[in-house]
Amino acid sequence: VEAGLVTLADIRAAAERLAGRVLRTPLLPLTTADPDRPLWLKAESLQVTGAFKLRGAYNAILPQLTEARRSGVVASSSGNHARAVAWVARELCVRAVIVMPDAAVPAKVDAVRALGAEVEIVTPDERDTRAAKLAAESGMVLVPPFDDPAIIGGQGTVGLEIVEDAVDVDVVLVPVSGGGLISGVATAIKSVKPDTRLIGVEPTLAGDAAESFASGRLVSWTPQQTYRTLADGLRTTSLGQIPWRHVHRYVDDILTVDEDEIRDAVRQIAAGCRLVAEPSGAVATAAYLHRAAQLPATGRFVAVVSGGNVAMRTYAQILATEPEASTESAF
């Protein structure tokens, strides 16, 4: 194993750490899938915080519990990572400060506060630096969103569960943003079953990782670019440095999907699997549905549904777009 990369042993240690603390999410068949290439959904949307982020947060905080209990934890996020860190802090009786941008949706701020975390609102120019500054000044334990081996190790437990529960899987599709999830999943799956194809998926409108992958060098997009996508969990402007090394080592391809394809996947996940997926959580399924030409023609597929946190108004609008769709026609 290349020096500095997360290992299968790290991920197995994370799995032991997380046992009983996170849900071992089910693998559910999408009953509308093509029988020649059956698809199972890894339903991380069913985690108690509605997203896989809980795994990395636990795995980062538990080994530093003494320091965390003494000084607290701090994280910067307006989304699923914020919620996960706040949840873990509450469960472990640890003080948490969540740095959130002044543009954050009030409902998201309220949700984090409802978990007992303190919220510090910052302007865009402090957004990326404030949490690290707080940690340096106060001794609080910083919980980064993705560019960290412990986070990657925690998210990797998703991959471990996939290869344990779907022993014959041929292709695994994973949403990509900062790269923590795909790095962990790819490490686990390629270590246990190296012939599995491991494919990242992101919105075309936030396709920085696909460009990095294709060009072989880590590129960044601007927020003006990435914020165009409906998939608000995938607007990170670049893969993290540590994830980039894992992606380069383990990932076979990164595909992009369009906004209408993401909406269609949200609908098909509801109709064919009865899961509420957020747009970001649906991109891997969107690639299965709409990028068949770029994927193996046969084989057993797994798509990670990474989260289910979506405003009901937005969700209802997405579902209403094709009024003929129904779980009645699920097979």
Residue 264 interacts with a second copy (CB under 8 A): yes or no = no
Give dist(CA 282, CA 261) in Å, integer: 9
Residue 271 interacts with a second copy (CB under 8 A): yes or no = yes
Q: Are 276 and 305 within 8 A, CB to CB?
A: no
- Both tokens of 267, joined, read 């609908």
Question: What backbone phi and psi angles, to 5 degrees, belong to 192?
Answer: -85, -40
Of positions 5, 13, 92, 111, contacts a second copy by CB under 8 A: 111
Q: Look up 108 and say whether it is catalytic.
A: no
Of positions 128, 138, 274, 292, contacts a second copy by CB under 8 A: 274
Give, as ranges, the residues between 279 and 318 that touch a second copy (CB under 8 A).
308-313, 315-317
Q: Are 318 and 267 within 8 A, CB to CB?
A: yes
Look-up of token digits 């925690």:
154
Angle (nearest 5°) at CA 46 between 270 and 111: 105
Residue 62 interacts with a second copy (CB under 8 A): yes or no = no
Element (H, E) at 131: helix 130-138
Residue 192 interacts with a second copy (CB under 8 A): yes or no = no
Q: Look up 133 and say whether it is catalytic.
A: no
Of positions 1, 19, 48, 103, contacts a second copy by CB under 8 A: 48
Give dist(CA 73, CA 75) in Å, integer: 7
Of positions 28, 68, 84, 131, contacts a second copy by CB under 8 A: 28
Residue 70 interacts with a second copy (CB under 8 A): yes or no = no
Residue 92 interacts with a second copy (CB under 8 A): yes or no = no
Of positions 19, 103, 114, 292, contacts a second copy by CB under 8 A: 114
Element (H, E) at 94: none
Residue 205 interacts with a second copy (CB under 8 A): yes or no = no
Active-site residues, by number, are 53, 306
